[in-house]
């Protein structure tokens, strides 16, 4: 696993041993950031279910101004901390050891331009997170939520005020891009 573009391009990232995390592949990550384009520049990023920090660190490498990474698994948290230090972005990052839902309810006044949701597959976590995010104004007016699921998972619950703007499939992975309906 490596950073694929930006000022830290080519730098290697560590992953947690075992099956606790499933890092986003370089192919999928490249596709995500190709879709996002300039939206990454100077953006404030939230990476819930951060795993290795892969997506947030890629965003910082490509010009995001700040990233908040939330991870509840202690081993993954330690790997993220090491990755942030190794690539030199600790000063632009805030790493929290806590559950994603706890973060949402504990920090209700936060606003982000990009929100990455990459929870464990097939646990129906993304619809639950989207329901929680609706209660607050976490997403900036022109912000994007990027959700990663297994290809066979669906986002069928009422998503208002969010709407699906684009989807893409890569092997067993499906990427969902959501924005506010009024944008």
Collapsing DSSP to helix, strand or coil, 109 comes out as: coil
Share of the chain above pLDDT 70, in %: 96
Residue 22 has pLDDT above 70, yes or no: no
Confidence (pLDDT) at 21: 59
Strand partners, 66: 44
Quote the CA–CA distance of 43 and 25 in Å, as a whole number.
22
pLDDT grade for 103, boundaries at 50, 70 and 90? very high
User: Per the structure block, which two tokens stand in for 113?
Assistant: 């331009």
C-alpha span between 51 and 85 (Å, rounded): 16
Q: For residue 77, what pLDDT is reported? A: 96
Domain ranges within the chain, ordered by starting residue: 31-180
What is the rounded CA–CA span in Å between residue 58 and residue 29?
Answer: 8
Q: What is the largest CA-CA distance in the chain?
A: 42
Beta bridge partner(s), residue 145: 115, 178
Given a contact cutoff of 8 angstroms between Cβ atoms, the answer to whether 37 and 45 are in contact is no
Closest CA to 135 of 117, 153, 109, 157: 109
Residues 6+ apart with CB under 8 A from 117: 48, 49, 125, 126, 129, 145, 146, 147, 148
CB contact at 8 A, 116 and 46: yes
Strands 139-150, 93-97: pairing kind: unpaired
pTM of the model: 0.93
Between residues 159 and 166, the one the model is more confident about: 166
Query: Tell me: the pLDDT tens digits for 113-149?
Result: 999 999 988 898 999 999 899 888 899 999 999 999 9
Q: Which two tokens stand for residue 146?
A: 């990027």
92: tokens are: 């632009």
Say which CATH class 31-180 falls into: alpha beta
**Tens of pLDDT, residues 78-90:** 999 999 999 999 9
**Could you please report the per-residue DSSP string of 37-76?**
GGGGTT-EEEEET-TTSHHHHHHHHTT-SEEEEEE--HHH
Q: Which pLDDT belongs to residue 183? A: 58
pLDDT in tens, 23-64: 777 889 999 999 999 999 999 999 999 999 999 999 999 999
Mean pLDDT score, 152-159: 83
Residue 12 pairs with which residues in a beta bridge?
Answer: 2
């Amino acid at each position: 696993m490596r950073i694929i573009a930006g000022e830290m391009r080519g730098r290697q990232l560590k992953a947690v041993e075992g099956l606790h995390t499933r890092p986003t592949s370089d192919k999928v990550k490249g596709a995500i950031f190709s879709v996002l384009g300039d939206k990454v520049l100077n953006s404030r990023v939230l990476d819930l279910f951060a795993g290795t920090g892969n997506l947030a660190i890629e965003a910082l490498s490509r010009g995001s101004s700040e990233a908040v990474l939330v991870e509840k698994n202690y081993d993954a948290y330690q790997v993220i901390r090491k990755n942030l230090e190794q690539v030199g972005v600790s000063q632009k990052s805030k790493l929290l050891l806590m559950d994603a839902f706890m973060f949402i309810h504990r920090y209700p006044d936060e606003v982000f331009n990009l929100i990455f949701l990459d929870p464990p597959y097939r646990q129906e976590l993304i619809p639950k997170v989207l329901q929680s995010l609706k209660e607050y104004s976490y997403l900036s007016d022109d912000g994007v939520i990027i959700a990663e699921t297994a290809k066979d998972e669906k986002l069928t619950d009422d998503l208002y005020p969010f709407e699906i703007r684009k989807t893409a499939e890569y092997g067993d992975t499906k990427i969902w891009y959501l924005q506010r309906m009024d944008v």
